[in-house]
Chains A and B, each alone.
Chain A
Amino acid sequence: MTAAISVSGVTKRFGAVQALAGVDLEVRQGEFFALLGPNGAGKTTLISILAGLTRADSGTARVLGHDVVTGYRSARRFLGVVPQELVFDPFFSVRETLAFQSGYFGISGNDAWIDELLTNLDLQAKADANMRSLSGGMKRRVLVAQALVHRPPVIILDEPTAGVDVELRQGLWRFMRRLNAEGHTIVLTTHYLEEAESLCSRVAMLKAGRIVALDSTERLLARFNELYLEVRLAGGALPETLAGRALTDGAAITRVRLSGHEEVEWILAELRRAGCRIESMALREPDLEEVFVQIMSGAAPEGRA
């Protein structure tokens, strides 16, 4: 099956900045994929190249097999992009904006789908309001709707939840999950890693224009299969038996490494035996944020990059 997105050997330089330094990436059809990386890693640049907004210096990018330069019309028809920047045309209402956007994609009489988008993104009440009068979060929802007017099989969302309230964030993800279940491929960038962790089956991490990790979310998490018990002690010192497992000794919160949940009881017993009083405690599972921090600091086990 043709890849939804296929990028090979893509480089891009802006003056002195090497925004992309040779990126190879394939996203399969039907995937829910996360593109992660710190500010300036090159995520938006990569998305812009896929969308035809920026030209790569070298390498090729394809959407469902269509080259984004030589086959730009097909590539763009198959792609819906939610840009990171909050942009809008102040001349028009929400509905006008969506109707014009449909027209640009060669679709007329798109009202039924536009209404469905408005409903799913909780915008019906603002349908006839001028874009200028919308709040930031509402403008972002319109951006999402605009990216979907032509029902693209491949959807890329560049930080769609920045500045969006909790309720809408959940609504937006529910909608994206539905679209994904219906067969749409979804790629997102976000700095809320728990979003990526709960939604995406595969993750690519970019750092300084290179892919430094590319794996299924599960396997990435498994690389750091460590469990911690975080305890805040009100009195007493950590017993000798646990000292070797402590990660942060002397700090207010002590983190003790576990090899499995069954060790919890033993650790608590050891603490009690040493006369420690526990003020609070929590069991910490590895999360994507932790993995991300480790990989970005270069401390992680080498990823398949």
Chain B
Amino acid sequence: MTGFVALFRKELVRFWKVAFQTVLAPVVTALLYLLVFSHVLEGNVRVYEGVGYTQFLVPGLVMMSVLQNAFANSSSSLIQSKVTGNLVFVLLAPLSYLEFFGAYVAGAMVRGIVVGAGVLAVTLPFVGLQFAHPLWILAFALAGSAILGALGVVAGIWADKFDQLAAFQNFVIVPLTFLSGVFYSIHSLPAFWQRASHFNPFFYMIDGFRYGFYGRSDTDPVTSFGVVALAFAVLATLSLLLLRTGYKLRQ
């Protein structure tokens, strides 16, 4: 347990020491999205009755920040330690696979949620948000950040170079978040894309998270949470399997 706590704390200190780029920068990015999209689309797009476009957009952007930063934290920490070689210090220690996995995922969750909370805090004075079901908000934030943290662990183990990780981020993470209904309701999509969206786990994370704010969603939040929990179980199993076999880390 002490081993887990130490590695978890190391993960926190690592991103906090460079909070300017790991927390502040992504908050600013999210706010720029908000500014641009709400300026262009407010009044033109109506998703749910009684919910303005900007109000609709904020939870999506918050969740997008949570997800992207959770992924960035575990994946970049692992790839940096691999490339510089200092992962050896963790590998020499008697940490169990579960402690290793847990610490990286927990660190990623904190970073994701801190950034998400930052975006929320800055928008709160300007956008009238509702908090219909705060527990759902919390549940989806935790589950979403855990999934992306675990995905970051997998990607960090797999990648040998920074550009492979960047490719993973640009070709997998970003498209999946953008096409998940951050900026729109999937009900406004053609039938094919609506159906396709239902295969995107990110859609359920965003949709469920938004349900927590307005009590309305494209899919029942219980269903969404089930999908999200399943996605986490799959990724956690995969990560633990990789760690157990020593894939790429202990050749």
Interfacial residues, chain A to chain B (CB-CB below 8 A):
14, 51-55, 72-74, 76-77, 79, 81, 83, 85, 87-92, 96, 100-108, 146
Are B9's CB and A91's CB within 8 A?
Answer: no
| Closest Cβ–Cβ distance, residue B11 to chain A (whole Å) | 10
Chain A CB within 8 A of B32 CB: no
Contact A55 B92 (CB under 8 A): no
Q: List the A side residues contacting B88 at CB < 8 Å.
A: 53, 83, 85, 87
- Contact B89–A55 (Cβ < 8 Å): no
B94 touching A105, Cβ below 8 Å:
yes
- Is A106 within 8 A of B10, CB to CB? no
Chain B residues with CB under 8 A of A54? 250-251
Contact of A89 among B9, B89, B246 (CB under 8 A): B89
Per-residue CB contact flags for chain B residues 1-19 toward chain A (1 = under 8 Å, else 0) read: 1110111011001100110
The interface residues of chain A lying within 8 Å CB-to-CB of B9 are 100, 103
| Cα distance, A76 to B14, chains bound together (Å) | 25
Q: Name the A residues within 8 Å of B95 (CB-CB).
A: 104
Cβ-defined contact, B93 with A104, below 8 A: yes
Cα(A101)–Cα(B95), bound, Å: 11
Chain B residues contacting A100 (CB-CB under 8 Å) are 6-7, 9-10, 89
A108–B94 CB distance below 8 A: no
Would B94 and A87 count as touching, CB distance under 8 A? Answer: no
Report the minimum CB–CB distance from A134 to chain B (whole Å): 14
Interface contact A53-B13, CB-CB below 8 Å: no
Residue of A nearest to B10 (CB): A100
Q: 5 tightest CB-CB pairs across the interface, nearest first?
A: A103-B6, A104-B93, A87-B85, A76-B94, A73-B94
| B2, A108: Cβ atoms closer than 8 Å | yes
Enumerate 27 A-B pairs (CB-CB under 8 Å) in ascending A order.
A14-B251, A52-B91, A52-B250, A53-B88, A54-B251, A55-B246, A74-B94, A76-B93, A85-B85, A87-B84, A87-B85, A87-B88, A87-B89, A88-B84, A91-B13, A96-B13, A100-B89, A101-B89, A102-B6, A103-B7, A104-B3, A104-B94, A105-B94, A106-B1, A106-B2, A106-B3, A106-B94
Q: Within 8 Å of chain A (Cβ to Cβ): is B86? A: yes
**Are the C-beta atoms of A73 and B96 separated by less than 8 Å?**
yes
Q: Is B194 an interface residue (CB 8 A)?
A: no
On whether the beta carbons of A72 and B94 are closer than 8 Å, the reply is: yes
How far is the CB of A44 from the nearest CB of chain B, in Å? 12
The residue that A104 contacts in the complex, of B13, B81, B84, B89, with Cβ under 8 A, is: B89
Residue of B nearest to A80 (CB): B92
A77 and B86: CB pair below 8 A? no
Residues of B within 8 Å of A, CB-based: how many?
A: 28
Measured between alpha carbons, how far is A207 from B88 in the docked complex, in Å? 26
Within the assembled complex, what's the spacing in Å between the Cα atoms of A108 and B6? 9
| Residue ID in chain B nearest A97 by CB atoms | B89
A217 to B13, CA, bound (A): 48
Residues on B with beta carbons closer than 8 Å to the beta carbon of A73? 94, 96
- Select one of A53, A76, A89, A107 contacting B86, CB under 8 A: A89
Interface status of B90 (Cβ within 8 A of chain A): yes
CB-based contact A90/B84 at 8 Å: yes
Instruction: Answer whether A104 and B250 are a contact pair too, CB < 8 Å, given A76-B93, A77-B94.
Output: no
> Can you name 18 extra interface pairs (CB under 8 A) apart from A14-B251, A91-B14, A104-B95?
A51-B91, A53-B88, A55-B246, A74-B94, A76-B92, A77-B94, A88-B86, A89-B84, A89-B86, A101-B89, A102-B6, A103-B2, A103-B9, A104-B93, A104-B94, A105-B3, A106-B1, A106-B2
Q: Is the CB of B93 within 8 A of A101?
A: yes
Determine which residue in A14, A101, A102, A103 has the highest number of CB atoms from chain B within 10 A of its CB, and name it. A103
Q: Which residues of B contact A106 (CB under 8 A)?
A: 1-3, 94
Closest to A102 in B: B6
Q: A90-B84, A146-B89 are in contact. Are A103 and B5 (CB under 8 A)?
A: yes
